[in-house]
Structure 1
């Protein structure tokens, strides 16, 4: 049985629920809703599992707040004995147009504090990340307000279709592998 740890980054609490920075949580919540899964609060995060074609997906939403996500990722990787190549981190990305998808096997944190902490705790930049574009439609000095701001009505309308594609990407990651998934989904 192959295991995969799928981590959606976000901040806990009602005030962050519908913010751009919480797209990782939103994608996992969408997947769980479509598959009838229920998250349970466990050590360092909310967790649920999903089985498909001989693979076990462990979905985790850290409850450590975004900037301390690495502790939760390292704990669950170790606890579940998931190899690093079967880790997928889902995060928002200001450098991509809204709804764009970019899957990568390594890279810098790009100034993202959640990725910075994961990189620090794992002691590597070589881990899979699924970057979901939130665009950079903010004025100078307003980045934090924008990232922690809620989706516009236009973005919300387009989000459903993007969430569906994101769920397909997660399944593909475990079933078809990272390279095939990158070829199929990057730029979609």
Structure 2
């Protein structure tokens, strides 16, 4: 079984903010593959289903971003999921809006949600999909920026990116993470 976790913050107040792009990608997957993500388990909203022949658990941690690892750890322990079968999807301010970057492992790079996941799993070796949300404007507080919403033009780019990130997650499961990295990491550079 694969665990696909999209990071974000619960409650209406944070819907559609830059920090909640992980939730948006989970919503795309849930809609496309008809998976109900409304079970309240593992400190998350989650749903089990099948994507392209692979059993999956879609997870939207409800612990708030900085404690995402608590939820993921509970799900991993319950379903006995190996770290390499986890795909974490989250926002990245070092990438242009809508740009994707897939990594097999790595440090948190300053992202508190990822820091917490690494702390709870005891490893940095889990695949992830970073979804670019653009750089913070000078003089703007980072927390205010990541909790802000996209402008109309950016939102169009982001909606496309949510679809692409969902496709990337599927490719990671069906064709392997290396293939997905080669396809999606090279994409924006070529355009």
TM-score by length of 1: 0.94
1:7-62 deviation per Cα after TM superposition (whole angstroms, max 9, x unaligned): 00000000101100000001101221222222122231011122134310110000
Contact 2:98/2:160, CA 8 A, preserved across alignment: no
Q: Which runs of 5+ in 1 are unaligned?
A: none
SS at match of 1:18: coil
Larger displacement relative to structure 2 (33-42 or 57-66): 33-42
Displacement of 1:84 in angstroms is 1.1
- Residue in structure 1 matched with residue 56 of structure 2 by the alignment: 57
RMSD: 1.3
Question: 1:120 corresponds to which residue?
Answer: 119
Corresponding residue for residue 29 of structure 1: 27
Cα pair 1:100 1:187 within 8 Å, conserved: no
State the distance in 2 between where 1:137 and 1:53 align: 37
* Rounded Cα–Cα distance in structure 1 between residues aligned with 2:16 and 2:142: 17
Please tell me whether the aligned partners of residues 33 and 50 of structure 2 are also in contact (alpha carbons under 8 angstroms): no
Q: TM-score when scaled to structure 2? A: 0.93
SS of 2:134's equivalent in the other structure is coil
Structure 2 gaps of 5+ residues are none
Between the two proteins, the alignment pairs up a number of residues equal to 186
Deviation string 1:106-141 (CA, Å, 9 cap, x unpaired) is 111111110010111111111111111111041234
Structure 2 partner of 1:111:
110
CA spacing shift, 1:37–1:115, aligned 2, 3 Å: same
1:90 Cα offset (Å): 0.5
- Spell out the pairing of 1:37-56 with structure 2 (5 A cutoff): 37-40=35-38, 41-56=40-55
1:70-129 Cα distance to aligned partner (Å, 9 max, x none) = 111111111111111111110100111111111101111111110010111111111111
Matched, 1:100 2:99: yes
- CA shift at 1:186, angstroms? 1.1
